[in-house]
Structure 1
Amino acid sequence: MNDARLLEDDGAAFIAAARSNDAARFALITERYRRELQVHCYRMLANYEDAQDLTQETFLRVWSKRESFKGHATLRTWLYRIATNACLDFLGKRNDRIPVPAELPGAGSEVHYLQPYPDRMLPEDPQESVVARETIELAFVVAVQHLPPRQRAVFVLRDVLGWPAPQVAGALELTVASVTSALRRARVTMRERLPGRRLDWRSPATHELSDEERGVVKSYMDAHERNDLDGLTALLRDDLRFAMLPDPGTLVVTAKDAVDGWLSGGLFQRGYDDWRCVPTTVNLMPAAVLYRRVPDDLEYRLFNIAVLHIVDGRIAELTGFDATDKPWLGLPATL
């Protein structure tokens, strides 16, 4: 069955379930959209746990509004409309969900609430996912956070999902002129935040890591396991951007400052000199999971996850996350 026919059948089945108050059938129909709606909420919010909560809120709203769906638009469009407005309502109540100025002059802003997105929770069917690698990478998600909420919604719906302007206007209760104006301003901000990146996110994009990326991740892990400071430093671009989240004030923008900070924090000294690493991916990006064993402990314990953006064989951005409080990453607690 082709996608268009499936969407039509979903809409008809949804209406039938709504009219009969068949909660089980309703859940079966809407559940197949969960993963893509959660990705959509994540782009809006940059936080995996918030995205989970808002996806659930979306389904609660969908159930309460079920009789208002008449099939004039596809069920998917209607669900995205509800999810987008749920995110906007959330952002309107949370003053802590905006980027804050970095302590380092000239370093821009930090997004303390940023969380990695586990690849295993992405939609399984690439035709259904509306996920291009560039639009799920951390730099993109962070750049989106610098847009005001409604401008953010316009940008995601128009330039990521490819909705026409009248459809976006209807979803957000705006005029087409307002949508066009908001999109123009959003694109300017995104170009400023993502210099040198391609800006046509609706064209096909690879999901696979390159051999070069895999090689750099392996070298990064080997350097930790060997306590090889020179080898680790050689992997970094001089203009490395490093942050350790959710800790504020950790952002640095040179490799030297990053390495100095790691050394002052005890890297490769007693208690931080026995590592095991596992390669993985999050946000469709290469990453290394670090496990640390301290003296007198028999096991290596989950420590953090380092997400890497690699340019020309060297690490240009390194975002570290405390992995111990994120069971949804699906990482074993010990090795």
Structure 2
Amino acid sequence: MPSQELAADHAHGFEPHRAELTGYCYRMLGSGFEAEDAVQETFVKALRTYDPARGQLRPWLFRLATNVCLDMLRGPQRRARAMDLAPAAVPGAELGVPLPESRWVQPVPDARVLDPADLVVTRETVRLAFVAALQLLPPRQRAVLVLRDVLRWSAAETAGLLGTSVAAVNSALQRARAALPATRETDTEVDEALLDRYVSAFERYDVAALVSLLRADAISSMPPFTWWLRGRESIHAVLSASGAPCAGSRLVRTRANGCPAFGQYLNGEAFALVVMEVEGGLIAEQTTYLDPGLFPFFGLPMSSEGLPRTDG
């Protein structure tokens, strides 16, 4: 966006709404990059069309953002996780052919979508599993569910935004709730000692120590491949037989989707972003995005040179 338009964002009071709008668009689209594009397009449209005499700014921005998202969702494919695309792999199975970025629910930095004053309420609604579940809903049902159940808009406010009736909104919400798959609850607070042990074990490639931090039913996936594993034993078998390809890695802490996350550096270069979900004090799921292009989005350097050493 040109500098004069960025200045206009502030002059028109758009900027305080950026994080909330980005979170809304992310839940709708399943991609942090696309969500930010949608918000920028929303602001451009608002600059051209918003008139204070026609109503309050926030509903106007959400109306525009909804229309932008619905336009972007006209394609036939939806974003998903590996578990939605293929059965669990057997240890020793080939990774297969990588799928394009457009097929995956992508991670998003907490700072871009979460309000620090409302973390406990909102972070469960940006978890990868929840966002992937939303992608199963038709786009307008998705919008209704997010507006009503996540953002707590009233049925009347939602109907006004979507240009429909309260009865239609209530019907869409009922159908969306019934169709939304259940997702497991994760720990709201994660033990820092667990994360320290994970970093130490990972950087030493200590398979026994790593596996000891997993739940028995833990899941491990590695986009852009549909290959994924379920269960501590399968993960242990693959890690033990892989020849330590990630030995000597460095991990740098960050946050994604309301969860702990790590930038992984291999041979000093950005390699993968690891998003971790914790349940009952153990790791329930880890998703390793083999996409160094995510590092700038998370404010992570592309090289580990100059980063502080850990004790791993």
Q: How does 1:114-129 map to 2 (within 5 A)?
A: 114-122=105-113, 126=117
Counterpart in 2 of 1:5? none
On the 8 A contact 2:41/2:68 being kept in 1, the answer is: yes
Counterpart in 1 of 2:200? 222
* TM-score with structure 2 setting the length: 0.81
On the 8 A contact 1:112/1:248 being kept in 2, the answer is: no
Please point out which of 65, 72, 85 is paired with 2:49: 65
Amino acid at match of 1:330: G
Unaligned runs of 5+ in 1: 1-21, 199-204, 294-299
Counterparts of 1:179 and 1:263, CA distance in 2: 52
Amino acid at match of 1:193: A
On the 8 A contact 1:287/1:308 being kept in 2, the answer is: yes
Which structure's CA Rg is the greater one?
1
Counterparts of 2:79 and 2:73, CA distance in 1: 9
Q: Are 2:28 and 1:44 equivalent residues in the alignment?
A: yes
Q: Kindly provide the CA deviation profile for residues 92-119 of structure 1, in whole angstroms up to 9, marking residues without a partner as x.
A: 1x2233448522179xxx9942111112
Q: Are 2:144 and 1:175 equivalent residues in the alignment?
A: no
Instruction: Classify the secondary structure of the residue corresponding to 1:95.
Output: coil
Q: Return closer, same or farther for 1:301/1:235 CA change in 2, 3 Å cut-off.
A: same
Q: Return closer, same or farther for 1:130/1:256 CA change in 2, 3 Å cut-off.
A: closer
Identify the structure with bigger relative contact order (alpha carbons < 8 Å, sequence gap 6+).
2
Q: Between the two proteins, what is the percent identity of the paired residues? A: 36
Q: Kindly provide the CA deviation profile for residues 154-206 of structure 1, in whole angstroms up to 9, marking residues without a partner as x.
A: 0000011111111111211222111111111222233x3225x49xxxxxx96
Q: Are 2:235 and 1:251 equivalent residues in the alignment?
A: no
Counterparts of 2:145 and 2:151, CA distance in 1: 9
Q: How does 1:133-148 map to 2 (within 5 A)?
A: 133-148=123-138
Q: How does 1:67-106 map to 2 (within 5 A)?
A: 67=51, 69-72=52-55, 74-92=56-74, 94-99=75-80, 101-104=84-87
Q: Return closer, same or farther for 1:23/1:134 CA change in 2, 3 Å cut-off.
A: closer
Amino acid at match of 2:206: D
Q: Return closer, same or farther for 1:55/1:228 CA change in 2, 3 Å cut-off.
A: same
On the 8 A contact 1:130/1:161 being kept in 2, the answer is: no
On the 8 A contact 1:278/1:289 being kept in 2, the answer is: yes
* TM-score with structure 1 setting the length: 0.76
Instruction: Classify the secondary structure of the residue corresponding to 2:226.
Output: coil
Please point out which of 283, 303, 312 is paired with 2:257: 283
Amino acid at match of 1:91: L
Q: Return closer, same or farther for 1:233/1:63 CA change in 2, 3 Å cut-off.
A: same
Q: Return closer, same or farther for 1:189/1:216 CA change in 2, 3 Å cut-off.
A: farther
Counterparts of 1:306 and 1:24, CA distance in 2: 35
On the 8 A contact 1:217/1:288 being kept in 2, the answer is: no
The count of aligned residue pairs is 285
Q: Are 2:214 and 1:236 equivalent residues in the alignment?
A: yes
Counterparts of 1:124 and 1:183, CA distance in 2: 24
On the 8 A contact 1:36/1:130 being kept in 2, the answer is: no
